[in-house]
Amino acid sequence: MHLLVTGGNGFIGRRLCDRAVADGHEVTSVARTGPPAQRHRGPWAADVTWLTADVFSPDTWRDALRSVDCVVHAVGTISETPDAGVTFERTNGDSAIVAALEAERAGVDRFVYISSVAKPPLVGRAYITARRRAERAIADLDMAIVVPRFGPVYGPDQPHFPRAVNWLCTAIGAVEPVARRLGDARPIAVDRAAAATYRLATMATPPASPVTAGTLADLA
């Protein structure tokens, strides 16, 4: 199977690529900054095709879709820098729509959009409205659409959370009865989030979307 991961050098994306390579799949990553930093690369990285390209410039990566079976969209942010073109509407919403339309045009069978169950604390409402807008926009495209909605994803080198928040999520996630009480908003370790996303990308018949905490925990 050939997977293309947009944002394959990121927090969840690179772990997904690692897992897919380990299982013998062909993997291509599309990211503005190419491969991950050296400290985040293992032997698996040599087996990934790293394309340095912007999702918003599909002419630079469109040809890579020709043999792809599934696109996993792992692009997202919880902070905005409008002067650099990084907004929730653009990064969390529009990027998914662009990637999904390109995948549909290329005849890709499945599109997995990594989404969120809710906005993180102290983050603007536009974070989640952009994600829901993208989910609605791609729902009826001519391919299988799978949308995992994760709660807070924690783990080593979490690039978005303050250290204290990452520590708190780690502590909660380590105690299953406590994590379960949070329902769909339960924190999940990044390795488990990547494993669940990988399963959704490669399993014969994925569950109906949106896919939320209970199902995602089982898949991980």
SS3 187: coil
Q: Which residues contact 191 (CB under 8 A, 6 or more apart)?
A: 15, 155
Q: Does residue 178 carry a pLDDT above 90? A: no
pLDDT higher at 118 or 27 = 27
- What angle in degrees, to the nearest 10, is found between the helix axes of 13-22 and 190-202? 60
pLDDT interval class at 20 (50, 70, 90):
very high
pLDDT higher at 161 or 107 = 107
Lowest mean pLDDT among 78-87, 150-159, 173-182, 210-219: 173-182
| Res 181: pLDDT | 79
Q: Does residue 142 carry a pLDDT above 80? A: yes
Instruction: Count other Cβ atoms within 10 Å, centred on residue 162.
Output: 10
Q: Which domains does the chain have, with CATH numbers?
A: 2-153+190-219 (3.40.50.720)
d(CA 157, CA 9): 13
pLDDT higher at 108 or 181 = 108
Question: pTM, whole model, 2 decimals?
Answer: 0.93
SS3 78: coil
| 190-214: pLDDT as tens digits | 999 999 999 999 999 999 999 998 8
SS3 96: helix
